[in-house]
Structure 1
Amino acid sequence: MKYVIGVDLGTSAVKLLLMNQKGQLVQEVAKEYPLMQEKAGHSEQNPEDWVEQAISGLNELTDSFTGDVADIEGISFSGQMHGLVLLDDYKEVIRPAILWNDTRTTVECQEITERVGKDKLLQLPKNIALEGFTLPKMEWVRKHEPENYEQAKLFLLPKDYLRFRLTGELHMDYSDAAGTLLLDMEDRSWSKEMCEAFDIQPDFCPPLVPSHAMVGNIKKEIAEQTGLSEQIKVFAGGADNACRAIGAGILEEGETMASLGTSGVVLSYEDAGDKSFAGKVHYLNHAAPDAYYTMGVTLAAGYSLSWFKNTFAKDVPFDDLLNKAADVPVGANGLLFTPYLVGERTPHVDSTIRGSFIGIDSSHNMKHFTRAVMEGITFSLNESVEIFRENGKVIDRIIAIGGGAKSDIWLQIQADIYNAAVIKLSSEQGPGMGAAMLAAYGSGWFSSLQECAAVFLEKEKTVEPIPENVEKYKDLFALYQSIYTSTNQINKDLMKYRNNDEG
Structure 2
Amino acid sequence: MNLMGIDVGTSGCKVAVFSETGELRSLAYEEYDYCHPQPGWAELETPLVWGQIKRTICKAMVGLNGGFKGEPLHGLSVSSMGEAVVPVTRNREILGPSMLNFDARGDEYLPDLASRMSPQRLYAINGNTLGSPYTLTKLLWLKNHQPELYRRADLFLPWGAFVSFMLGADPCVDYSLANRTLLFDLDSGDWSAELLQWAGLEREKLPCTIPSGQVIGAVARPIAEELGIPAGTPIISGGHDQCCNAVGCGVIEPGRAMYGMGSYLCAVPVFSRRPDPRVMIERGLNTEHHAAPGQFVSFIYNQGGVLVKWFRNTFARAEARQATESGDSLYPALFAELPEGPSSVFVLPHFTTTGPPRFIKDSSGVIAGLRLETNRGDILKGIVEAATYYLRDCFESLPGTGIVIHECTAAGGGSQSDAWVQLSADILGIPFVRLQVHEAGSLGAAILAGVGARRFSSLQEGISAMVHQKDRFEPDAARKHLYDERFARYRALASCMENAMREWNRPLTG
Given the two structures, how large is their TM-score scaled by the length of structure 2?
0.91
| Contact 1:75/1:436 (8 A) holds in 2 | yes
Corresponding residue of 1:501: none
Alignment-derived partner of residue 339 in structure 2: 326
What do the CA deviations read for 1:252-310 (whole angstroms, capped 9, x no partner)?
11111211111120110111335431261222111112221011121x21111211221
**1:386 Cα shift?**
2.1
Choose from 289, 294, 300 the match for 1:296.
300
Which residue of 2 is the match for residue 141 of structure 1?
Answer: 142
Amino acid at match of 2:467: L
Could you report, residue by residue, the CA deviation over 1:324-371 in whole angstroms, capped at 9, with x for unpaired residues? 2133x22x22x2112211121222212222111233344433222122
Deviation string for 1:357-414 (max 9, x for gaps)? 2333444332221221111111122233223344233322111222332222212211
Change (3 A) 1:373 1:59: closer
Deviation at 1:422, TM superposition (A): 1.2
| Identical residues among aligned pairs (%) | 25
Q: Any idea what SS the aligned residue of 2:255 has? A: coil
> Structure 1: where are the runs of 5+ without partners?
499-503
**1:447-486 → structure 2 map (5 Å cutoff):** 447-486=457-496
**Which range moves more in the overlay, 21-30 or 345-354?**
345-354
The equivalences for 1:134-283 within 5 A come to 134-167=135-168, 169-276=170-277, 277-278=280-281, 280-283=284-287
Which residue of the partner structure matches residue 5 of structure 2? 6
Equivalent residues in 2 for 1:61-80, closer than 5 Å: 61-64=60-63, 65-66=65-66, 67=68, 71-80=72-81
- Aligned equivalents of 1:368, 1:173: Cα separation in 2: 44
Residue 110 of structure 2 corresponds to 109
Q: Which moved more, 1:360-369 or 1:424-433?
A: 360-369
Q: Secondary structure at the match of 1:221?
A: helix
CA-based RMSD of the aligned residues comes to: 2.2
Q: Which amino acid aligns with 2:436?
A: S
**Displacement of 1:454:** 1.6
Q: Which runs of 5+ in 2 are unaligned?
A: 320-329
Does the 8 Å contact 1:84/1:138 carry over to 2? no
Query: 1:444 is matched with which residue?
Result: 454
Cα 1:62/1:87, change in 2 over 3 Å: closer
Cα offset for 1:462? 1.1
Taking the aligned partners of 1:175 and 1:69, their CA distance within structure 2 comes to 35
The answer to whether the 8 Å contact 1:30/1:57 transfers is yes
Residue 309, structure 1, aligned to residue 312, structure 2: yes
Change (3 A) 1:199 1:303: same
Q: Measure, in 1, the Cα distance between the counterparts of 2:255 and 2:169.
A: 39
Return the TM-score normalized by structure 1: 0.92
Which residue in the other structure is 1:59 paired with? 58
Aligned partner of 1:285: which letter? Answer: H
CA distance in 2, matches of 1:116, 1:244: 33
Match of 2:423 among 413, 418, 427: 413
Deviation at 1:69, TM superposition (A): 5.6
Instruction: Please report how far the alpha carbon of residue 89 of structure 1 lies from its aligned counterpart in structure 2 after TM superposition.
Output: 7.0
Worse-superposed segment, 145-154 or 422-431 = 145-154
- What one-letter code is carried by the residue in structure 1 that aligns with 2:59? E
**Take 2:105 and 2:201, find their aligned partners in 1: how far apart are those partners?**
21
What is the CA-CA distance between 1:90 and the residue it aligns to? 5.9
What does residue 403 of structure 2 align with? 393
Q: State the Cα distance separating 1:106 from its structure 2 match.
A: 3.5
Other structure's SS at 2:180 match: coil
1:218-274 CA distance string (max 9 Å, x none): 112112212322221110111111111111111111111211111120110111335
User: 1:284 and 1:360, CA in 2 relative to 1: closer, same or farther beyond 3 A?
Assistant: same
What one-letter code is carried by the residue in structure 1 that aligns with 2:480? V
Q: State how far apart, in whole Å, the 2-side matches of 1:336 and 1:306 are.
A: 18
1:17 corresponding residue in structure 2 = 16
Deviation larger for 67-76 or 114-123: 67-76
Measure, in 2, the Cα distance between the counterparts of 1:374 and 1:170.
41
* One-letter amino acid of the counterpart of residue 291, structure 1: Q
CA contact (8 A) 1:70 1:229 kept: no
Q: What's the CA shift for 1:141?
A: 2.2
Alignment of 1:330-345 (within 5 A): 330=342, 332-333=343-344, 335-345=345-355
Q: Deviations over 1:140-188 (max 9, x none)?
A: 2234334433444421111211211111521111010011110111321
| Residue among 375, 393, 403 paired with 1:365 | 375
Q: Separation in 2 of the partners of 1:324 and 1:63?
A: 39
Shift of 1:449: 1.4
Distance in 1, matches of 2:110 and 2:502, equals 20
**Which SS does the other structure have where 1:236 is aligned?**
strand
- 1:127 aligns with 128
CA distance 1:165–1:302, shift in 2 (3 Å): same
**Offset of residue 28 of structure 1:** 0.9
**1:134 deviation in Å?**
1.0
Count of matched residue positions in the alignment of Structure 1 and Structure 2: 493
1:43-63 residue CA offsets vs partner (Å, 9 max, x unmatched): 211222233233333333334
Contact 2:413 2:438 in 1 (8 A): no
Moved more, 471-480 or 337-346: 471-480
Amino acid at match of 2:15: L
Q: What amino acid sits opposite 1:431 in the alignment?
A: G
